[in-house]
Amino acid sequence: MKRTLLAIIAFFMIFAQTLTAQNYSAEGENDLKNVEVSIKFSERTMYHPGDAEGNPVKVHITLMNKSSKTQRFKLAEDRMFSVDFRAFNIKNTQLGQTDLLREKRTTNKTVYYREISLEPQEEYSFVENLKEYLNITEPSIYYVELNFYPELYRNGEQSIHSNRLTLEVKPSPTAASSSMIPVKENTGALLERQEIGPDKVVEQTIIARQNELWDQFFLYMDLEELLKDNQSLNRRYNNSSAAERNDMLNEFKAELMQSRICKDIVTKPVKFEIKSTNYDPNEGTVKVEEWFEYDKYQEKKLYTYYVRQRDGIWQIYKYNVTILEKQ
């Protein structure tokens, strides 16, 4: 009888422990869903490839407890064992990790950490240099995300994902951009918009496209007006916050660079000729004949660029295209 009673008691103890473990596991999973990781740029500046120390991409990382319970995490002294960046260019190619990151994570050494406790609605923030994690070797538009490991990188795959940022990396100012579009003396930085006529604005824009110089191509473009010319994008844009609008414009620029939208204006002509320019003090049009070569045929098109002057600067805000010849 005693043996039977002891067996029953032991069974219930094991059963209770199993339930406790399951409940703990379930609570952990629910808590994880209520923890938010958000990222934003800490110091917005002009970003260029390479030079992690001289031209860092500083990202402000915030952990927020959105649950009703205290949350506890491990945070490594070396943040490379607590966070991971991922970035993709406009061709959806993922950036590679730096040698520094790979070396640290493959070296067998003690990882020092401390526990942080977040009360409900409490936040904890820190800043990391994206370039210490990822190799940014080419100018482009990148989409950046972050994973946070609450139990450190080495202790499993469990992670919390952040929001996505759009990072624009411009060509290095020391690079030779084009002999046709000048740069500032001493600095080598590209010139800001100049008070030039509508025909010159269009001419420089087309030349920039012929030479794959995206910065100069967008220099005299009113991207906001071009975006709003698309009805569906216009509705989204009007209902967005200032930060969301900025992200939309960067995404729109990336779509243009990939010829996914407004294809006519980003198609590269083999040659062009300005036919007429008409304008008053505020608005005008520039008509240009442009020739294009494709695999099996050629086309000649007439482009009408609509320009508008703001603070002495002419910008392209609209265009239309007519096919003149096809052979």
Q: Give me the mean pLDDT over the 126-151 stretch.
A: 93
CB 321 within 8 A of CB 302: yes
Task: Please give the structure tokens belonging to residue 262.
Answer: 């407004």
Task: Please give the structure tokens belonging to residue 247.
Answer: 């992200």
pLDDT band at 192 (very low <50, low <70, confident <90, very high): confident
Return the pLDDT at 13. Answer: 47
Return the pLDDT at 262. Answer: 87
Q: Which amino acid belongs to residue 55?
A: N
For residues 164 and 218, membership in a common domain is answered with: no
For residues 107 and 215, membership in a common domain is answered with: no
Q: Is the pLDDT of residue 155 over 90?
A: no
Cα(277)–Cα(124) distance, integer angstroms: 58
If one compares 130 and 295, the residue with the highest pLDDT of the two is 130
Among 169, 188, 209, where does a domain finish?
169
Cα(227)–Cα(220) distance, integer angstroms: 15
Return the pLDDT at 187. Answer: 42
Average pLDDT over all residues of the chain? 83
pLDDT band at 30 (very low <50, low <70, confident <90, very high): very low
Return the pLDDT at 191. Answer: 52
pLDDT tens per residue, range 260-307: 888 899 999 999 999 999 998 899 999 999 999 988 889 999 999 999
Number of structural domains the chain divides into: 2
pLDDT tens per residue, range 218-228: 999 999 999 99
Among 149, 169, 189, where does a domain finish?
169
Q: Is the pLDDT of residue 174 over 80?
A: no
Task: Please give the structure tokens belonging to residue 114.
Answer: 């401390």
Sheet holding 123-129, edge to edge: 35-41, 58-65, 123-129
Among 169, 188, 220, where does a domain finish?
169
Q: Is the pLDDT of residue 246 over 60?
A: yes
Return the pLDDT at 268. Answer: 92
Task: Give a yes or no: residue 219 inside a domain.
Answer: yes
* 176: helix, strand or coil: coil
Return the pLDDT at 173. Answer: 58
Q: Is the pLDDT of residue 308 over 60?
A: yes
pLDDT band at 98 (very low <50, low <70, confident <90, very high): very high
Cα(240)–Cα(252) distance, integer angstroms: 14
Q: Give me the mean pLDDT over the 105-114 stretch.
A: 89
Task: Give a yes or no: residue 183 inside a domain.
Answer: no
Task: Give a yes or no: residue 17 inside a domain.
Answer: no
Q: Is the pLDDT of residue 3 over 60?
A: no
What CATH number corresponds to the domain at position 130?
A: 2.60.40.2360
**DSSP 8-state secondary structure symbol assigned to residue 135:** -
Q: Which of 21-25, 106-110, 203-207 has the highest average model confidence (pLDDT)?
A: 203-207
For residues 143 and 257, membership in a common domain is answered with: no
Q: 148 lies in which domain range? A: 35-169
Q: Which of 177-181, 182-186, 218-222, 293-297 has the highest average model confidence (pLDDT)?
A: 218-222
If one compares 214 and 64, the residue with the highest pLDDT of the two is 64
User: What is the torsional sign of CA 246, 251, 256, 261?
Assistant: negative
Using alpha carbons, list the distances in angstroms from residue 102 to 44, 58, 97, 108, 146. 27, 20, 7, 12, 17
Percent of the chain with pLDDT over 70: 83
For residues 165 and 207, membership in a common domain is answered with: no
Q: Give me the mean pLDDT over the 96-111 stretch.
A: 90
Return the pLDDT at 31. Answer: 61
For residues 149 and 231, membership in a common domain is answered with: no
What CATH number corresponds to the domain at position 227?
A: 3.10.450.50
Using alpha carbons, list the distances in angstroms from residue 182 to 58, 178, 191, 218. 30, 7, 7, 15
| Residue-wise DSSP of 257-306 | HTTSSSHHHHSPPSEEEEEEEEE-SSEEEEEEEEEEE-SS-EEEEEEEEE
If one compares 314 and 24, the residue with the highest pLDDT of the two is 314
Return the pLDDT at 226. Answer: 92
For residues 58 and 141, membership in a common domain is answered with: yes
pLDDT band at 156 (very low <50, low <70, confident <90, very high): low
For residues 215 and 119, membership in a common domain is answered with: no
Kindly compute the dihedral angle of the four CA atoms of residues 188, 194, 196, 201, in this order, to the nearest 10 degrees.
Answer: 70
Q: Is the pLDDT of residue 96 over 80?
A: yes
For residues 154 and 225, membership in a common domain is answered with: no
Return the pLDDT at 258. Answer: 84
User: 292: closest CA among 284, 283, 301?
Assistant: 301
pLDDT band at 133 (very low <50, low <70, confident <90, very high): very high
Task: Give a yes or no: residue 318 inside a domain.
Answer: yes
Q: Is the pLDDT of residue 45 over 90?
A: no
Task: Give a yes or no: residue 290 inside a domain.
Answer: yes
